[in-house]
Amino acid sequence: IPLWNQLRAAILGLPLLVLPCVETSALGALFLAAASQAPDLRARYLASHDTTLLLPDPAMQAAYAPLADRFRAASDWYQARP
């Protein structure tokens, strides 16, 4: 499992479902587009493909928390500019 995915789970503090698909943005767009016509498409996809659930690593969360806080502060500052 790539380090990037482990970092995302740790920094966000949320479980991360890793899909075997490389084009996850396109897949997400497909799920949204099909939601009204095939509401079970996402569930069928997940049932038929191997996925990995990454839980946040507490040690990694602690190590990256100061950097994540700095990023959030900078992002808040940037968004608040006129």
pLDDT at 9: 93
What are the pLDDT digits (tens) for 11-40? 889 999 888 888 888 988 988 888 888 888
What are the pLDDT digits (tens) for 41-74? 888 888 888 888 999 999 999 999 998 889 889 9
Helix, strand, or coil (residue 30) = helix
pLDDT at 22: 82
Torsion angle of the four alpha carbons 76, 71, 13, 47, in this order, in degrees rounded to the nearest 10:
90
Residues 6 or more apart whose Cβ sits within 8 Å of residue 51 = 17, 18, 19, 20
pLDDT at 1: 61
Q: How far apart are the first and last CA of the chain?
A: 41
